[in-house]
């Protein structure tokens, strides 16, 4: 008797922009047995300057289209700005399991010897009560210096399209954090998924940092604990879906090609939330 076809778990990795790719790369390497879909809401980008209300409306609007279309077995909200506010209502609305990413204050506090932690995120994440609660709960004896920058998000978007940032630009974007903790900071949390993509340009400004805290491995462990290892060998090429046509599609396509993606698809979702 014929055996039922083995099912490859579908994992959607969702972000406003290319930040999701910093995590997707690790997921593909560590858990190659899942079918990956990268969804970038580039029509709604940037998320990191939106209010809680606007972001919640926007994410629900996008997922109302994406969930029935892709029918994922799990969805990773690879965006700190969104995860810090929208996960509870998503979990109420769908049966699908959601994995989020929130600022890694707890592991940072465990790693830091000087007790001075830097946190780079979007302006929205830095303002969120959720983030401040993490600091009170998990790093009460540390000094956590936060800097929210929309400029660094834009720099990351350009960098993966082949436009590297200049030193002046990086210095300017990072100066507020450099001023507050360059000597003593030994742990730096990259609490926006765009930032691991430009870490090589951030590192020189923080020579005292011993620990760079990024979320990719923790997310991979969480996905594995919920979905297992999947079906290595049965997966197809990962698919990338944008919510509007990209102004520099060739450059984006070239980067995605290196991660094994085929042609980018566009599923238009208008920018209004
Ligand atoms: N990558 C996202 C985050 O982790 C947000 C970037 C943006 O759209 O501003 O917060």
- pTM of the complete model beyond 0.85: yes
Whole-angstrom distance, CA of residue 20 vs CA of residue 233: 24
pLDDT number for residue 232: 87
Is any ligand 1 atom within 6 A of the Cβ of residue 99?
Answer: no
Each residue's pLDDT tens digit, 133-169? 999 999 999 999 999 999 999 999 999 999 999 999 9
pLDDT number for residue 247: 81
Closest Cα to atom 2, ligand 1: which residue? 79
Instruction: Tell which one of 40, 58, 76, 193 to mutate to probe ligand 1, the residue whose CB is within 8 A of the most ligand atoms.
Output: 193
Q: Could you give the residue numbers annotated as active site? A: 79, 192
Is any ligand 1 atom within 6 A of the Cβ of residue 149?
Answer: no
Q: For the chain, what percent of residues have pLDDT higher than 90?
A: 90
Whole-angstrom distance, CA of residue 159 vs CA of residue 138: 33
pLDDT number for residue 5: 56
pLDDT number for residue 194: 98
Calculate how far, in angstroms, residue 44's C-alpha sits from the geometric centre of ligand 1: 11
Is any ligand 1 atom within 6 A of the Cβ of residue 80?
Answer: yes
Residue of 21, 60, 22 lying closest to 44 (CA atoms): 60
In this prediction, the residues of the chain whose per-residue pLDDT falls under 70 are 1-6, 182
pLDDT number for residue 83: 96
Enumerate the H helices of the chain as residue ranges.
Answer: 20-30, 52-70, 80-93, 105-111, 123-127, 129-138, 150-160, 167-181, 199-202, 216-227, 249-258
- What the chain holds in terms of domains, given with CATH numbers, is 10-101+217-266 (3.40.50.1860), 105-214 (3.40.50.1860)
């Amino acid at each position: 008797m014929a055996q039922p076809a083995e099912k490859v778990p579908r994992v959607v990795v969702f972000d406003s922009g290319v930040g999701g790719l910093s995590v997707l790369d690790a997921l593909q390497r560590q858990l190659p047995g899942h079918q990956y879909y990268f969804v970038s809401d580039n029509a709604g980008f940037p998320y990191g300057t939106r209010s809680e209300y606007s972001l919640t409306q926007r994410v629900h609007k996008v997922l109302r289209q994406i969930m029935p279309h892709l029918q994922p077995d799990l969805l990773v909200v690879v965006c700190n700005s969104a995860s810090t506010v929208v996960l509870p209502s998503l979990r109420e609305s769908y049966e699908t399991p959601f994995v989020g990413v929130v600022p890694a204050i707890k592991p940072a506090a465990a790693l830091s010897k000087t007790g001075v932690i830097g946190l780079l995120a979007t302006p929205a994440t830095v303002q969120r009560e959720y983030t401040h609660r993490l600091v009170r709960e998990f790093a009460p004896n540390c000094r956590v210096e936060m800097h929210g920058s929309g400029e660094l998000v834009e720099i990351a978007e350009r960098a993966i399209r082949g436009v590297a940032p200049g030193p002046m630009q990086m210095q300017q974007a990072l100066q507020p954090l450099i001023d507050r903790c360059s000597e003593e900071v030994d742990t730096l949390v990259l609490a926006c998924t765009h930032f691991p993509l430009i870490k090589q340009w951030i590192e020189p400004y923080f020579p005292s940092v011993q620990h760079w805290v990024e979320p990719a491995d923790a997310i991979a462990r969480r996905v594995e604990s919920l979905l297992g290892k999947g079906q290595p060998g049965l997966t197809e090429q990962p698919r990338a879906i944008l919510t509007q046509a990209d102004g520099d599609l060739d450059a984006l396509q070239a980067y995605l090609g290196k991660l094994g993606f085929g042609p980018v698809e566009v599923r238009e979702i208008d920018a209004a939330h």
